[in-house]
Amino acid sequence: MNSLFVFSQIGGSGGGAWSTILMFGLIIVVFYFFMIRPQQKKQKALQEARSAMKSGDKVITAGGIHGRIKEVGETFFIVEIADNVRIKIDKASVFAAGDAPASGEVAK
């Protein structure tokens, strides 16, 4: 009997559905402007930097390998990581230019 009384008191605010929809919409907009949009800008800048890289540039791969580009292909780089040691890497695995500090590092 008491539970029926509690449930009868819960319902009844007229605009509840609209305020919930508005709140979810606001959360989605905030999420877009604070999370998705900055990430898209960062990816676009990284893609432009990758396409501008040329032979002789220093690079850092996503795996942390530092080297110098020796050859540029359409989808890959040949990177020299030591004297006469060259590896072929995918362009998407380049994390940063060698001159730029990696995320979390402090430039001196």
Query: Which residue is listed with tokens 């509690």?
Result: 6
Please check the confidence at residue 61 and state whether its pLDDT lies above 60.
yes
Domain boundaries, position 31:
15-52
Q: Is the domain of 38 the same as that of 59?
A: no
Does 42 fall in a domain? Answer: yes
Tell me how far apart the alpha carbons of residues 19 and 71 are, in angstroms, rounded to a whole number: 58
Q: Is the domain of 84 the same as that of 74?
A: yes
The pLDDT tens digits for 32-58 are: 999 999 999 999 998 888 888 899 999
The pLDDT tens digits for 89-108 are: 999 888 888 665 555 444 44
Does 2 fall in a domain? Answer: no
Q: Is the domain of 48 the same as that of 80?
A: no
Token reading at 17: 């559905």
The CATH number covering residue 65 comes to 2.30.30
